[in-house]
């Protein structure tokens, strides 16, 4: 039996053990928001959140990330000096990450490490040093539809350990070998606890009422989906604010800029959004996605058609529901996908 049990009032021992090797972060309440922050003891943890406002993708793919620093002193005989930024010294453990957000990391692994010979080194370096301890959802939020997109409230993709909240205790299932050392000295779970965890999982799955249907999107050609007549109506209320893309745990577009001060400078990449007209503006002035419809369509085509095509079927959506909850004009991703799925 692999599953272990730890009582919540004894959790400090596990956190101390983790904290010796990792910087510990977890979701905590901050007024009406739930945010990721450093935690040090079990008393800091929140057991009643549905999901964090911002996803944890920023830990591995920061909103602004320094790629290199440079010095270009015209008086120097050395020419331009380029240096890699120092890597973060302390690995991180993300405690109580939701399964959908861990699954998003697994999706981004496919994106950033698509070519194993030439991975995105910034992502890979941090990803290899980050431990993911997931907290299964017992009460999924109303906007969630994870079960429609190859995910679920107890899904383990991307995780090192899955934890299930059984009230006064947690059931821990190791998913990756590197997690086992942290829980090896905990008590084995009883059959009763494993049965309870399974019942809670069934209950959580039953609570997810939102669904998206994608059979026709998946079966149809890219051109057919691209030319669907419903885009015309669906895009109208979108104001291209980009909120959906910044909250999304799988959106990963970025823009690269050089910031200079005197002879010093740094090259950074910043999150970008396909909702912005500038995103695709060419130097010539031509813009292949100059209209709002084209930009609105792109977000959905990318997630539900182009990414599965390029990444062996992987969808660019884990069903977290954030884009639906945060959209200022109430555009619901489930509604859009279901409409496009209708022939
Ligand atoms: S959040 Fe809503 S309005 Fe803003 S870009 Fe996304 S779909 Fe459009
Ligand atoms: S598209 Fe929306 S529901 Fe899907 S992962 Fe992104 S934010 Fe979550």
**Angle value at C-alpha 161, between 10 and 141, nearest 5 degrees:** 90
Strand ordering across the sheet containing 4-7: 33-38, 23-30, 92-97, 130-135, 161-165, 169-174, 4-7, 187-188
The share of the chain scoring above pLDDT 90, in percent, equals: 93
Q: Give, using CA atoms, the residue closest to atom 8 of ligand 1.
A: 238
Q: Is it the case that residue 32 has pLDDT exceeding 90? A: yes
Which H or E element spans position 34?
strand 33-38
Q: Is the CB of 241 under 6 A from ligand 1?
A: yes
Residue 104 has pLDDT above 90, yes or no: yes
* Average of per-residue pLDDT across 96-104: 98
pLDDT level of residue 126 (50, 70, 90 thresholds): very high
Q: Please tell me the distance between residue 61's alpha carbon and the centre of ligand 1 in angstroms.
A: 22
302 DSSP 8-state letter: I
C-alpha to C-alpha distance for 321 and 140, rounded to whole angstroms: 10
Q: Is 151 in the pocket of ligand 1 (CB under 6 A)?
A: no
Model confidence pLDDT, tens digit, residues 132-163: 999 999 999 999 999 999 999 999 999 999 99
Give the mean model confidence (pLDDT) for residues 75-96: 89
**Confidence label for 76 from pLDDT (cuts 50, 70 and 90):** confident
- Which residue in the block uniquely carries the two structure tokens 């400090």? 12
Domain count for the chain, please give it.
1
The first and second tokens of residue 219, run together, are: 């079966």
pLDDT tens digits along 286-304: 999 999 999 999 999 999 9
Q: Is the pLDDT of residue 1 over 80?
A: no
Q: How far apart are CA 128 and CA 139, in angstroms?
A: 30
CA pair distance 202, 175, nearest whole angstrom = 20
CA distance 35 to 29: 6
At residue 21, the pLDDT reads: 94
Long-range CB pairs of 276-284, under 8 A, 24+ apart, other chains included = 276/240, 276/242, 277/240, 279/253, 279/255
Q: Enter the pTM of the model.
A: 0.95
SS3 content of the chain, % helix, strand, coil (to 5): 35, 20, 45
CA distance 97 to 86: 27
CA atoms of 19 and 13, how far apart (whole Å): 10
Containing structural domain, residue 294: 4-341
% of the chain surpassing 70 pLDDT: 100
Q: Give nearest CA residue, ligand 1 atom 3.
A: 238
Q: Is the CB of 248 under 6 A from ligand 1?
A: no
Residue 87: the pLDDT is: 81
pLDDT at 179: 86
């Amino acid at each position: 039996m692999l599953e272990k049990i730890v009582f919540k009032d004894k959790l400090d021992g596990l956190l101390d053990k983790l904290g010796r090797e990792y910087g510990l972060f977890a979701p905590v309440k901050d007024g009406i928001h739930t945010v990721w922050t450093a935690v040090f003891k079990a008393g800091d943890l929140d057991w009643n959140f549905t999901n964090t406002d911002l996803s944890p993708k920023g830990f591995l793919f920061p909103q602004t990330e320094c790629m290199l620093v440079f010095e270009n002193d015209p008086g120097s005989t050395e020419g331009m000096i380029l240096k890699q930024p120092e890597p973060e010294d302390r690995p991180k453990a993300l405690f109580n990450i939701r399964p959908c957000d861990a699954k998003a990391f697994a999706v981004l692994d496919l994106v950033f490490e698509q070519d194993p010979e030439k991975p995105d080194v910034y992502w890979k370096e941090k990803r290899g040093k980050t431990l993911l301890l997931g907290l299964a959802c017992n009460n999924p939020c109303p906007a969630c539809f994870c079960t429609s997109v190859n995910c679920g409230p107890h899904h383990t993709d991307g995780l090192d350990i899955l934890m299930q909240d059984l009230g006064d205790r947690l059931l821990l299932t190791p998913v990756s070998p590197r997690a086992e050392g942290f829980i090896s000295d905990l008590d084995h779970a009883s059959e009763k606890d494993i049965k309870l965890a399974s019942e809670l999982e069934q209950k959580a799955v039953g609570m997810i009422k939102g669904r998206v249907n994608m059979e026709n999107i998946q079966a149809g050609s890219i051109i057919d989906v691209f030319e669907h007549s419903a885009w015309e109506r669906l895009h109208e209320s979108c104001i291209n604010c980009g909120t959906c893309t910044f909250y999304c745990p799988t959106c990963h577009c970025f823009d690269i800029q050089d910031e200079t001060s005197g002879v010093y400078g740094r090259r950074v990449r910043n999150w970008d959004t396909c909702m912005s007209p500038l995103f695709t503006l060419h130097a010539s002035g031509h813009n292949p996605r100059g209209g709002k419809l084209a930009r609105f369509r792109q977000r959905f085509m990318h997630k539900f058609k182009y990414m599965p095509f390029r990444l062996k079927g992987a969808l660019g959506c884990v069903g977290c529901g954030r884009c639906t909850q945060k959209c200022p004009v109430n555009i619901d991703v489930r509604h859009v996908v279901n409409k496009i799925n209708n022939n």
